Amino acid sequence: MLTVLSGVAAPATFAASIGVNFQGRDGAGAPVAPIDPAEVAGVVPQANWNNIADSLYTPAEQGTAPSLANDAGGYTAVTLTFDANDSWNSDGTAVSPDERLMLGIIKRQGLNTASTFTFSNLGAGPYDVFVYTSMNGDNVLLDTTLGSTTYYTFEEHQFGLAFIQALNTNPSGTRDVGNYVKFSNVIPTNGGFVVTATWRGGGDGNGIAGFQIVGASFPTNTRPVVITQPPPSRRVLVNQTVTFSVVTDVPARFQWFKGTAPLAGETNSTYTTPPVTAADNGTAYHVVASNNVNSVQSSDAVITIGQLVTVPGAKEQLWYGAVRADVEAGTQDSIPPDRLLALSKFEVPDEQGDNFAERVSALFRPPVTGDYVFFVASDDDSDLFISTDATPANKQLIAQEVNWCGDRNWTGNDGGTGNHELEQKRSDKWVPDPLNPPATPPFANGIRLTNGFSYYIEGVHHEGGGGDNFAATFKLLTDPAPASGDATKITGFLLAPYAQGLDGAYITVTNPPQSTTGIQNQTVTFTIGATSGYIGDTSSASPGLAYQWQSAPSGSSTFTNIPNASGSSFTTSLLKLSDSGAQFRVAMLAGDTNITSSAATLTVNPDTTPPRPVTVISVNAAGTVVTLAFAELMDKPSAETGANYVFTPGNVAGASASLAADGVTVTITPASALTPNVTNVLTITGVKDLAGNPVSANTTISFKYVPVTYEADILFDAPLGYYRFEDATNSPIAKNTGSTGGDGAYFTGDETAPMASDGTPSSAKGDAGPRPPTFAGFEANNHSATFDGVGEWVDTKNQYLQNRGAFTLEYWVNPTGGRTNVPSLWVNRVGIVGQNDAIEYGFIDPLTIQIWTPNGGSLNTAYNFGDDEWHHVATIASGANLKTYYDGALVGTGGNATGNYGAAGFNVHIGGGGVFDGAGNWFTGHLDEVAIFDKAIPAARIAEHYNAGKNGGVITTSGAVTPALNITLTIARSGNNVVVSWTPSGGTLQATSSLSGTPINWSDTATPNGGTITIGTGNSFYRVTQ
C-alpha cells in the first residue's frame, strides 16, 4: 500500500521540497522499483522521494498518503489524497532515478473524467508545483488544472532522459508534448490545493507519474508511527535468502536487528538476509521504526529451517531466454533452471515474466479406468505429452496450443482459428500434421488409462510477451468438454508424489461441513472452509490445498471418493429418500500433510409440495407454440400429455407437449392458434412432479403475447444505440432509434484524429437487408448498410461502450468478397462494430469472429457460414464472462470476470474506420440491425430476437399464478455460514444489498434450497420467487 520512506538520506542543500513518486505497476503486476532515499531525481533535484505503491491500496489507486517526507528527510504534516482507477507504466527503462520517477504511472480511464490529487496541511506558501506526466501510448491528450490555470498538452510516452516542460495554457492553442507542467506561486486555500488531470482522448487514459512541491517550509508532522504490518516469520531451505518487510502508517526511519544486535546499514523498510545456514534455525529478527514523534519495535520474525521432501504435485522448470524446441530437445537440461517450483496442480502461476520456456511435469493418477481426453490452454504456444507409463521415455505428443489463449480457455482461442488451433488443443481432435490429416485423429476414441497406475505427463510452454498462462485438464470421452474458466482437474489427489517441495505443511479447518436437510428430487450443497501454510511461517506462503469429497451410506464408516468432487464445495445429485442419513466429508492434501474433515449428515424429507408453473417463457408469432417453465423437476409422462393443458379464451386444449432435458421446461402445441393481444389463461390439470405430487386444483397461469415488428422486439429491451439502416438512399445520416445520443453518419476514409468524425462524408446505398420469405419478421423492403472493404464505415458519434460493467452487442451480418472461397482476399482484423481500445469486435481472421476487451478478456468463435448469407450474431458481456451466439444459439464462452470492461478515446464505429485499431479494419459486405445495450440482456431474449427476424417478433408477458403461494424462508447460522431453506419447495433465491430505491435491484443466486451462504461484510437481503 503506502510505500513508506524506507530510510532517510542525509539533509540536502536543495530548496525545500516534497517529492511524490507513483510506482504504478510493471509487466508482472507489481509496483515499479522505488527511488531509494539517497537517490536524487526531479526537475528540482532532491532526495527522499515518497514512493507510493498506488496499485496496492484498497480500493486500488484510491487512498491517502500521510506525513510526507521533505527532501531533507524531515517528517511533515502534509498529506496527499489521490483518486484514480488504474495504474501501469510508460514505455522505457527503470535504470536511473529519473527514469523510475517517470516510469510508474497512476491513471484514470474514462474519457473526459479526471484523476484528483488533494494536498493538505500545507503552510501559507507560496509553492511551485511540478506535475510529472507520462503515458504508455502516443497522442494522449491531457488537461492538468490547479486553481484557475489549465495546461493543455500531449503526454510523452517514453522518458528520454530529459525533462520537457509543456507550456500551453490556451484551450484553443496547439497542444505541446511534454513530461511535466509547472504551476508557480501557488497559495494554498485552507492549507491545501487540488490538482485535476483530465483525459481528453488518445490511448486508454491519462497518466500521472509524480509531483514536486517546492517552497520555503512545510509544517512538521505530529503523528506517531504505527507498524501496521510487522515482518512475518519464515520457513525456508538452507542457502535461500529471506526478505523481511515492514509497513507503517506514516513515513519512518528503520533499523533492522538480528537478535539484539543492530545490522549495519540496514535502514530500509525491507531487509534481505545472506543465504541461510542450518545454524540460523530459530534466529529472530525485528525492526525499529521511528519518526520525529516516536519509535516503535516490531514483533520478532523467526527463521525456521525446513527440508526438501517429495510431495504430490507437478514440477515446474523455467529457463529465461529459451524456446520450446530447446526444452523439448533436452538442450536446457544441463542448465540449472531459473525457476524450480513444486506446484499443487498442473497449472503455472501467472506473470512470471517474458521470453522464457518451461517444462511442467508430473505423474498423473487417473481417478477411474476409462478413455480420457486432455485439453491444453496457454499463452503463448505449448505442447502436451503423456506417457504410456510412469517414465518420460514413452511420452507421446497429444495436444498443442498453436497460438495463444486466455487463462483456462480450454476450447477457445484468442489468437485466431485459421491454423486449426481449436482442434489441436484437445487430444481427441489433435493430428500430427493438420495440413495432411489422417482419416481419423490418433486419439479420437480417447486415451485409455487405468486406475491404480501412474502416467508421466508433461507440458512444454513458451512465453514471448504479454500473458504467460499454462494449464492442462482432462475429461472422460463421454463427458462434456470443460467450460472456459473451469479449474484444472489435474490436482493434488490425482498427482503422485513427484515434485520436491518444502516440508512442514499444515492444514487448518475453519468451517467444517455442516449437516443439512434437503428435499426429495432437489440438491443440497456442502462447503468447507480451510487454510494451509507452513509450520513456523506466518507469511502468506502456502503449499496449495487440494480437496476430495467422500461419502458413506447411513451408519457406515466406510467412505469412498466422489468423482469430480474436488473443490471447496460439493453439490449433490438429485436427492432420493434413500439418501437420508448419508454422510459427507472432505479429504484435504497440502504439501507433505493431509487431513480429513468431520462428517456432515444429510437428511432428506419427502417432497409433498404440488408443482407450480413459474413463467410463460415465450409464444410464437402464430400463437401455436407455448413454452412454459415449472418451479421443479417434472414427471415426463404427465408433463407431455397435451390434454393436461387448456387455454382460454377459446377453451383450446393442448394437442401435444414435450418436456425439455432440463426437466422443468415444457413446450406445448395447442390444438388451434391462441388469441393475441389479450390475456390468455392456461389451466393445468393432471401434471405431476417427479415425486408424484399433482398440481393443485385450479392451477392457472396468465400471459399475454403481442406480435410485433423486429424493431419493436429490439426496442423492448431498451438499446442505447440501434441502427436499422433504413436511411434514404444518398442520406449522409445513419439514424439512431436507441435511447442515447444522436444520429451517426456515413463516411469514407479514416478520420484525422480519434473522435474527429471528419472522414469524407458518404451516404446510405439502400441495399437489401434480410427480407421475407427467408426472414419473415422483416419488411419486404428492409434495407441494410453496405461496406466496400476499402474505406466505408459508420461513425455512431457515441462512446456507448465506455466503462461498462456489462453490455450486449448484436447485429445481422452478411460477409461478401470471397471470404470463404478465397480467404486470401480478406485481411485479418476486419471490424464489425466496436470502440477501439475498449471493446474491439469483428473478424480477427476470415473464419473467426473475435470480441476483445482490455479488462474482461476475449472470445474467439469460428464463423463457418458461407458468404452472401444473412446470420444473426450477438455477444453478451455479463461481467462474469463473454458469450457469443449465432442464430440464437450459444457457440462460445470465454473471457474473465471484471467490473469494468474498459474505456478508450474513440467512438463506436461500424464496419471500419478503426475497430481493432485506430484506423482501417474495413469490412466487406452488409450489416443490419446493429443494437448496442448497456446491460447483459438474457440469452432468451437473444433467441427471441433471432426468432423475431426469422419467423416474426413476439413480446410475451407472463402474469399471475394461482393458487397463491405462501413461502416461509428460514435462515440458520452455523459458524461463519448460514443455511438458507424455504417451504414449499421450488423457486429461486434472490439477493440484494439494499432495500432502498425504486425498483429494488434483486438478482438470482446460485444457492439451492438448503444451501449454504458464507457470511461476508455489509448487508444482504434475501427472498424467494416462485
Tell me: the pLDDT tens digits for 546-593? 999 999 999 999 999 999 899 999 999 999 999 999 999 999 999 999
Tell me: the pLDDT tens digits for 798-812? 999 998 999 999 999
| In a shared domain, residues 906 and 845 | yes
Q: Mean per-residue pLDDT for 989-1016?
A: 76
| In a shared domain, residues 742 and 878 | yes
Report yes or no on 164 lying in a domain.
Answer: yes
Tell me: the pLDDT tens digits for 225-236? 999 999 999 999
Q: 3-class DSSP state for residue 394?
A: helix
Per cent of the chain over pLDDT 70 is 96
- In the block, which residue shows the cell 508421466? 456
Question: Can you name the residues that pair with 227 across neighbouring β-strands?
Answer: 248
User: What is the structure's pLDDT at 327?
Assistant: 97
| In a shared domain, residues 267 and 389 | no
Q: Are 214 and 222 in contact (CB under 8 A)?
A: no
| In a shared domain, residues 554 and 586 | yes
> For residue 11, is pLDDT > 60?
no
> For residue 827, is pLDDT > 90?
no
The CATH number covering residue 367 comes to 2.60.120
Final residue of a structural domain among 306, 335, 370? 306
User: What is the structure's pLDDT at 942?
Assistant: 96
Query: Which range of residues forms the domain containing residue 280?
Result: 231-306
> For residue 820, is pLDDT > 70?
no
| In a shared domain, residues 372 and 442 | yes
Strand 314-320 versus strand 356-364 pairing type: antiparallel
User: What is the structure's pLDDT at 14?
Assistant: 40
Q: Which DSSP helix (H) or strand (E) runs through 725?
A: none
User: What is the structure's pLDDT at 1005?
Assistant: 80
Q: Mean per-residue pLDDT for 711-725?
A: 96
Q: Which of 527, 583, 526, 575 is nearest to 550 (CA)?
A: 583
Report yes or no on 678 lying in a domain.
Answer: yes
Q: Mean per-residue pLDDT for 702-720?
A: 95
User: What is the structure's pLDDT at 31?
Assistant: 85
The CATH number covering residue 792 comes to 2.60.120.200
User: What is the structure's pLDDT at 814?
Assistant: 97
- In the block, which residue shows the cell 474436488? 566
What's the Cα-to-Cα distance from 157 to each of 85, 135, 136, 319, 869, rounded to whole Å? Answer: 19, 5, 5, 31, 45
- In sign, the C-alpha dihedral spanning 706, 707, 713, 718 is negative
- In the block, which residue shows the cell 474513440? 906
What's the Cα-to-Cα distance from 477 to each of 130, 797, 954, rounded to whole Å? Answer: 64, 50, 41
Report yes or no on 11 lying in a domain.
Answer: no
| In a shared domain, residues 621 and 554 | no
> For residue 935, is pLDDT > 60?
yes
- Number of structural domains in the chain: 7
| In a shared domain, residues 847 and 746 | yes
| In a shared domain, residues 240 and 338 | no
Q: Are 852 and 858 in contact (CB under 8 A)?
A: yes
DSSP 41: B
Residue 228 corresponds to which amino acid? T
Cα–Cα distance measured from residue 879 to residue 853, given in angstroms and rounded to the nearest whole number? 11
Tell me: the pLDDT tens digits for 38-84? 999 999 999 999 999 887 788 889 999 989 999 999 999 999 999 99
Hey, how many other C-beta atoms are within 10 angstroms of the C-beta on 532? 21
Final residue of a structural domain among 215, 249, 269? 215
Report yes or no on 629 lying in a domain.
Answer: yes
Cα–Cα distance measured from residue 44 to residue 19, given in angstroms and rounded to the nearest whole number? 9
The CATH number covering residue 632 comes to 2.60.40.1220
Cα–Cα distance measured from residue 958 to residue 987, given in angstroms and rounded to the nearest whole number? 16
Report yes or no on 103 lying in a domain.
Answer: yes
Hey, how many other C-beta atoms are within 10 angstroms of the C-beta on 482? 21
| In a shared domain, residues 907 and 947 | yes
Q: Which DSSP helix (H) or strand (E) runs through 944?
A: helix 939-951
Cα–Cα distance measured from residue 798 to residue 707, given in angstroms and rounded to the nearest whole number? 32
User: What is the structure's pLDDT at 241?
Assistant: 96
Per cent of the chain over pLDDT 90 is 75
User: What is the structure's pLDDT at 15?
Assistant: 56
Q: 3-class DSSP state for residue 433?
A: coil
| Per-residue confidence band for 646, with pLDDT thresholds at 50, 70 and 90 | very high
Which residues, at least 6 apart from 479, have a Cβ–Cβ distance to it below 8 Å? none
| In a shared domain, residues 330 and 183 | no
| In a shared domain, residues 60 and 207 | yes
**DSSP string spanning 188-236?**
-BTTBEEEEEEEEESTTSEEEEEEEEEES--PBP-PPP-EEEPPPPEEE
Report yes or no on 10 lying in a domain.
Answer: no
Final residue of a structural domain among 605, 636, 669? 605
Q: Are 764 and 748 in contact (CB under 8 A)?
A: no
Strand 17-22 versus strand 50-52 pairing type: parallel
**Edge-to-edge strands of the sheet including 830-831?**
830-831, 840-845, 848-853, 857-862
Report yes or no on 221 lying in a domain.
Answer: no
Q: 3-class DSSP state for residue 572?
A: coil
Cα–Cα distance measured from residue 695 to residue 710, given in angstroms and rounded to the nearest whole number? 37
Mean pLDDT of the chain: 91
Q: Are 631 and 1025 in contact (CB under 8 A)?
A: no
Model-level pTM? 0.79
Tell me: the pLDDT tens digits for 184-227? 999 999 999 999 999 888 777 889 999 999 998 899 999 999 99
User: What is the structure's pLDDT at 419?
Assistant: 65
User: What is the structure's pLDDT at 450?
Assistant: 98
Q: Are 666 and 682 in contact (CB under 8 A)?
A: no
Cα–Cα distance measured from residue 629 to residue 344, given in angstroms and rounded to the nearest whole number? 43
User: What is the structure's pLDDT at 730?
Assistant: 94
Report yes or no on 676 lying in a domain.
Answer: yes
> For residue 1006, is pLDDT > 90?
no
User: What is the structure's pLDDT at 981?
Assistant: 80
Radius of gyration of the chain (CA): 32
Which range, of 411-420, 516-525, 544-553, 625-634, averages the lowest pLDDT? 411-420
Q: Mean per-residue pLDDT for 646-656?
A: 97
DSSP helix, strand, coil percent of the chain (3-state; round to 5): 5, 45, 50
What's the Cα-to-Cα distance from 741 to each of 586, 712, 800, 901, rounded to whole Å? Answer: 55, 19, 9, 21
> For residue 309, is pLDDT > 90?
yes
| In a shared domain, residues 514 and 491 | no
Cα–Cα distance measured from residue 231 to residue 227, given in angstroms and rounded to the nearest whole number? 10
Grid cell locating 173: 492553442
User: What is the structure's pLDDT at 8?
Assistant: 40
Question: Can you name the residues that pair with 131 across neighbouring β-strands?
Answer: 181, 211
> For residue 321, is pLDDT > 80?
yes
Grid cell locating 16: 525545500
> For residue 6, is pLDDT > 60?
no
Hey, how many other C-beta atoms are within 10 angstroms of the C-beta on 956? 18
